[in-house]
C-alpha cells in the first residue's frame, strides 16, 4: 500500500478543474489512495492580501492563465469554456463535497459540478444545479442539500479551510503526500510518483 494523496481543491479554481477531471483515474492506475479535501480559496486569498483571484488582479497573469487553460485542456482532451463569472461562488456545492468526501459518489459528483462551471457556464452555487449533479448518485439529493445548508456543515467547511491554511496551502489545486506539498495541476503526476516511492504508513 502506498500513502494517500490529499487533493485540496476548489470548484471556482480553474486549474483545480483540470486536476479534478483526471485525478481519480490516475490515482487508481497508480495504486495510490485518494483523499478528497475541498476547501475555500477566498478566505486564504484575502489573508494573503488579495481581494479577488490573482488572475483578476494581475492582468498579464490572467491573460496568460486563460490561454494556458485552453492549451492544457486540449492536451488532456477536456472540454473548456472560459466562464462569464470568475471566480464563481461555490459555497453550496463545496459544502456538499465536504459531506461526500468519503463517499463513493464523490468523484462523479465533483466532475459534474466542474463541467457545469467550466464548460456549460452555469451558476453552480444554485440548489437546482447541485440537485441535478447529485441525481442518480444518492438516494435523496434534497436531504444532502439540506444538510449542506446546516450550520454544522458551514462550520466544518470553515474548519477545513483553516486546516488548509495551517498546512501552508496558498492555492489550488494542492496535493499533499504526508507533509510533502505539490502545488498546481502540472504537479499532479509528480505527487503521485512521490506517493508511489514512499513507504506505506
Range of the domain at 85: 5-197
pLDDT of residue 48: 86
Tally of domains within the chain: 1
- The closest alpha carbon to 56, from 71, 42, 70, belongs to 42
Which residue spans within the chain are E strands per DSSP? 5-9, 34-38, 174-177, 180-183
Which CATH number is 160's domain given? Answer: 3.40.30.10
* DSSP category for residue 34: E
- Average pLDDT per block of 10 residues along the chain, 201 residues long: 95 98 98 98 89 80 95 98 96 98 98 98 98 98 98 98 96 96 98 91 62
Q: Is the pTM of this model over 0.85?
A: yes
Tell me which residues are annotated as active site: 13
Amino acid at each position: 500500500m502506498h500513502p494517500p494523496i490529499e487533493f485540496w481543491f476548489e470548484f471556482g479554481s480553474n486549474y483545480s478543474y483540470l486536476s479534478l477531471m483526471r485525478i481519480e483515474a490516475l490515482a487508481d492506475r497508480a495504486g495510490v489512495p485518494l483523499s478528497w479535501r475541498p476547501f475555500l480559496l477566498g478566505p486564504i486569498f484575502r489573508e494573503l492580501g488579495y481581494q479577488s483571484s490573482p488572475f483578476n488582479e494581475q492582468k498579464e497573469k490572467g491573460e496568460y492563465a486563460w490561454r494556458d487553460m485552453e492549451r492544457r485542456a486540449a492536451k488532456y482532451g477536456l472540454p473548456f469554456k472560459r466562464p462569464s463569472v470568475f471566480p464563481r461562488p461555490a459555497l453550496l456545492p463545496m459544502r456538499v463535497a465536504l459531506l461526500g468526501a468519503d463517499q463513493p459518489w464523490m468523484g462523479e459528483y465533483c466532475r459534474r459540478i466542474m463541467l457545469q462551471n467550466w464548460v456549460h457556464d452555469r451558476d453552480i452555487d444554485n440548489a437546482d444545479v447541485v440537485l441535478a449533479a447529485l441525481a442518480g448518485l444518492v438516494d435523496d439529493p434534497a436531504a444532502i442539500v439540506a444538510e449542506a445548508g446546516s450550520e454544522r456543515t458551514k462550520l466544518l467547511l470553515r474548519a477545513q479551510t483553516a486546516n488548509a491554511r495551517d498546512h501552508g496551502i496558498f492555492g489550488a489545486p494542492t496535493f499533499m503526500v504526508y507533509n510533502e506539498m505539490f502545488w498546481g495541476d502540472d504537479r499532479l503526476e509528480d505527487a503521485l510518483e512521490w506517493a508511489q516511492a514512499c513507504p506505506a504508513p
